[in-house]
Structure 1
């Protein structure tokens, strides 16, 4: 089985539990370990930091092009990471060259995914209206808005800086191993043998090694 992995996060999503890049990669790792046919091969990994309402995301277009060319399944953690628009999801369902797999719904077929996308869009519309109503009510009470968002943005920047620093530290070990021709899986095995902790704890996997290389 061959996969093309796509992840997406917007600036707003960075601080939301379950939508961050690490959470998406965790779900993808779980799918590959427990639900994928074996052996499997990752042909490419693509990542956008853009809104899900933008369907012209450059890395998404690359991922779709590779999936169409190779016949590999396009693997995403959640359906809304691919797009928040039902119309876009529907167009992919109709594309005979695109095989879609959602990690959080490993057994879902195209029809089920389409229904889920429609229900999710309806829910987001209601949540948006509810949020607007709550903000209007808060403003009428004299509450100053914006402070929480500023704090969240600062926290997200700090998280990214720590992740970048960790990647720079780890690449000093991973870089030479990669240059020596070791595969990602072999590097992961070496790091585990050396008792070097993986980011956020746990053991190393090939995908985690790839993420460090990309970030560094």
Structure 2
């Protein structure tokens, strides 16, 4: 039988409403899993927002999925609604990329995203394309702003500096993962490069060198 992680999340405000949000999510995931013959292992973050992917139980779930396929004891992660996992299309696309790279299924029931099926994978690919477009737009705006500042004679030397939180997360990931895996995880968690672009193994390597030399 296929075993999946059922991920549940409620914010502090939602938690105040008798926990009904958790029960509704659990019921939706249970019915979907039963229809597909899946066994569910539950992970739950209570009182936390979806502004970032830095949530204890979500990180534990992603770490469990990150194991190589032959040693992995779960086959994917399921959420009742996309906003339980992330409110950012870019962050969600990062998790989709991680799922594709490590070959596990990602299911957001409300959107019809189920990468274990051809149709669901098509929906996921559309979302990833939108996220890629969004990243490029952000990158172009950042570049245009830097060029305008240079033309105005302003020094831009510190614009390319990584935020301290990003640097700390990068080094923590590199202590346990390869360059490629670190790049995927940084993207999945919503950490951008200093210029607002997607992480690649090459710029992870360069950033790590700068951080350890400083």
Q: TM-score of the superposition, structure 1-length normalised?
A: 0.46
